[in-house]
Amino acid sequence: MKIGITCYPTYGGSGVVATELGLALAALGHQVHFISYAIPHRLNGFYENVFFHEVELSTYPLFEHSLYDLSLTSKMLEVFEFEDLDLMHVHYAIPHAVSAYLAQQVLRKSNKDLKFITTLHGTDITLVGLEPSFMPLVKFSIEESNGVTAVSRFLKEKTLTNYNIEKEIEVIYNFIDIDKYNIEDSEAFRKHIAPNGEKVLLHTSNFRLVKRVADTIRVLEKVKKEVPTKLVLIGDGPDRYECERLARDLDLQKDVIFLGKQDGLVKILNAGDVFLMPSQSESFGLSALEAMSCGVPVVSTSVGGLPELNIHNETGYIAEIGDIDRMAKYAIELLTNEKRYNSFSKNSRDRAVKNFDKNLIVPKYVKYYEEVLNSK
């Protein structure tokens, strides 16, 4: 197959999954064409069967704001025409699904058929899409998609309920390469961040308010009273300054290590003991899965699709949003009970291997592509 993929090329989960999916499809022999305004950050080298098409943004003085959705539509039309694509797979409903729909309608005028699949990742449904001005457009783009997938059962149900949609939505979970995200020696890096043998808490996100990164610092404050501990924060975003200020206010600036955006996550994850995910909204929790695959138990909130990933009292623990005391209690229990920790660590790795390996999930996408292409 020849597949066009459009995603946001940033560090968010939707772009990561879309890029990894494209690379996995290319490895299976499919031809993959990425269409976006920049190269996805995980597309960091030459890959056979992978091509990138940059969306040129208009700079005409009349337009005060960029017309990205229309520029994207034009690029989709161009790539479909000259690369003879079989279908488009867009990640995130707006504007990508809207642009794909417009391209589809243009092509129908010349009796050409472009089918497109939309994958819903979370905030396009639970946050951005609920804006009154966007809601009708999100509903329309989902209903007009030839196929729709969601990354969790929670997100599927939320979509059907929030938008009053009667449409089949296929649940296909996010995935990882379990050979890449594996348990490996990271003692040298661990000694660098915890030179006195401290335990290490981890968190990865884009530092948006919805991730509640500050909660991880408050958890650290309580855990440190029982266990010498460091907190490693990976990522960057609008909430980082407030987190840095909070660490200073709590006199924890030497115990909270801000690493910024990182690509070499495996070494960092393997240097950690417990992964914290205190989000107030999380449709799946890809960063938690990456930690689990490296044998790191997760302490998370109970929101969204997290309970479908992190099994309470098996791969980690689940607490309510904002319950700092309980999250700290769970972290202390894992850090002080070696037998339980080892059991949870093994369970985390096993769950990743048995349920979320790319070799299990990617064939589900291929099967779904074929179903959509063969449908009327």
Does residue 29 sit in the same domain as residue 137?
A: yes
Residue 12 pLDDT > 80, yes or no?
no
List pLDDT tens digits, range 41-88.
Answer: 788 888 999 999 999 887 766 666 678 889 999 999 999 999 999 999
Task: Please check whether residue 333 lies inside any domain of the structure.
Answer: yes
State whether 275 and 301 are in the same domain. yes
179 and 293 in contact (C-beta within 8 Å)?
no
Task: Band the pLDDT of 8: cuts 50, 70, 90.
Answer: confident
Same domain for 225 and 135?
no
Residue 180 lies in a domain: no
pLDDT, mean of residues 109-119: 91
For residues 215 and 351, state if they share a domain. Answer: yes
Is 121 within a domain?
A: yes
Is 182 a domain residue?
no
In tens, the pLDDT along 179-189 reads 999 998 888 89
Lowest mean pLDDT among 9-13, 132-136, 180-184: 9-13
Residue 207: band (very low, low, confident or very high) from pLDDT cuts 50, 70, 90: very high
Residues 148 and 272 in one domain: no
Q: Is the residue at 181 inside a domain?
A: no
> Is pLDDT of 129 > 80?
no
Same domain, 347 and 364: no
Q: Residues 96, 117: one domain?
A: yes
**What average pLDDT does range 251-280 have in this prediction?**
94
What value does the mean pLDDT take over residues 330-338? 97
For residues 88 and 159, membership in a common domain is answered with yes
- 97: domain CATH number is 3.40.50.2000
In a domain, 231, yes or no: yes
Residues 350 and 366 in one domain: no
Q: Domain check: are 134 and 206 in the same one? A: no
Calpha distance 97→141 (Å, rounded): 6
User: pLDDT at residue 280 above 50?
Assistant: yes
Same domain, 128 and 275: no
Q: Considering its fold, how many domains does the chain have in total?
A: 2
Domain extent for 289: 187-355
Is the per-residue pLDDT at 299 higher than 80? yes
| Statement to judge: residues 321 and 224 lie in one domain | yes
Asked, for residue 136, whether it belongs to a domain, the answer is yes
Query: pLDDT grade, residue 111 (50/70/90)?
Result: confident
pLDDT at 136: 86
